[in-house]
Amino acid sequence: MVVLIPEEVRVMTRQLHRILVVPVVLVTVLASSVALSSGTRSASAQRTALTHTGRTVRQLKMEVVVKTTNSPYWQIVFAAAKKAAAQFGVQSLGYVGGPSEADINAEITLIEDAIAKHPDFLVIAPTSASALNPVISKAYKAGIKVIIIDSAATTQNYTSFLATDNRLGGCLAAQALARAIKRKTGAARGQVAYATFQSGAGSLGARDAGFVQCIRAFHGISVVAHKDAGGDPNPGGKPLSIAADTLTAFPKLVGYWGDNLQTLQGAEKAFQERHVNHSKVSLVGFDNTAQEVTALKSHQLDGTILQDPYQMGYGGVGYGILASAGLTVPRFVNTGVTVATPANVNGRVIQGLLDPVSKRQIGFK
């Protein structure tokens, strides 16, 4: 039996103790002739699972459908899912996503197309908390195991959900911003603003709620603006303009938070174009590329919240295999959330999350 040992991660804040969770036991993999048996199941499992008596791991079919292919984040998910599929020998029917995270209809069409291929399981990252419910339910009721990753869907018709605790992520962003403000100005007080990438996305809504809740603990800080980028995938488009407008409207601003990569990069560009004094105004974001790593090291960025998309991709396939074998899988898997700052950016754990494709130790050689 192949066993993956969880990678333990040090406490990043006093409130946070996390373990990077991968399936403890993925599946017995001996050769392509190893059969998957349905075994004895509970009544609920019988209602929702197809039997695979006599089938092998290499006969399983899967597809990964994410919000968009035009993002480094989702490319990490794909890389991890492809690694898992290759290592366990399952057949991939595709790794697809819409033209942008705002294109809900495109993702619905992609999932419909995937259902028509009759896969054993689907790994899906929903663009909307509710709009995809009918098509997700269609797949589930057809006997396809549905592994949701990254963002929640409000339907109950899914097998397992792997995601960041986004509310905690938003809270950690608020704390990081307050600490940066205090470090630069001597006190956690003043005007701050934040931007959301797209209203209605479940993960972003949770982040924003966590941010608002936890920033209130700092009584000297007031939130003076909340802007919506309307799902514009171009950081130099609306994410830039809303950040620039906020800086103009509030010249005494001491802090800004972008709740995803595009809103963060839009703010980075606005700070650069407006020649914002980084010794007086703090900037925190969510997610990263190599650009943010450089900004952290040069103290142009005070912090960014790191998710674990690599684990979502690899684990999504892993749990899909387990569910297809007839095993009961967790309803929810918290994949962890961590704050990267200029102080810890060179640490091993942070480096593994910043560059997971080359530096994470998940999976097999």
Together in a domain, 158 and 26 = yes
How do residues 332-352 score in pLDDT, each as one tens digit? 999 999 999 999 999 999 999
Together in a domain, 108 and 183 = no
Together in a domain, 74 and 171 = no
Between 108 and 23, the higher pLDDT residue: 108
SS (H, E, C) 212-250: HHHHCCCCEEEEEEEEECCCCCCCCCHHHHHHHHHHHHC
Domain that holds residue 276: 166-306
The pLDDT value given to residue 232: 93
The pLDDT value given to residue 244: 98
Classify residue 352: in a domain, yes or no.
no
Mean pLDDT, rounded, of the chain: 87
The pLDDT value given to residue 71: 87
pTM greater than the 0.85 cutoff:
no
CB atoms within 10 A of CB 126: 30
Q: Residue 70 maps to which CATH number? A: 3.40.50.2300
Mean pLDDT of 104-110: 97
CB 284 within 8 A of CB 265: no
Q: How confident is the model at residue 10 (pLDDT cuts 50, 70, 90)?
A: very low
Classify residue 342: in a domain, yes or no.
no
How do residues 24-43 score in pLDDT, each as one tens digit? 344 433 233 223 333 333 44
Total domain count, the chain: 2
- What is the C-alpha separation between 214 and 12, in angstroms, rounded? 17
The pLDDT value given to residue 54: 62
Q: Which of 35-39, 87-91, 96-100 has the lowest mean pLDDT?
A: 35-39
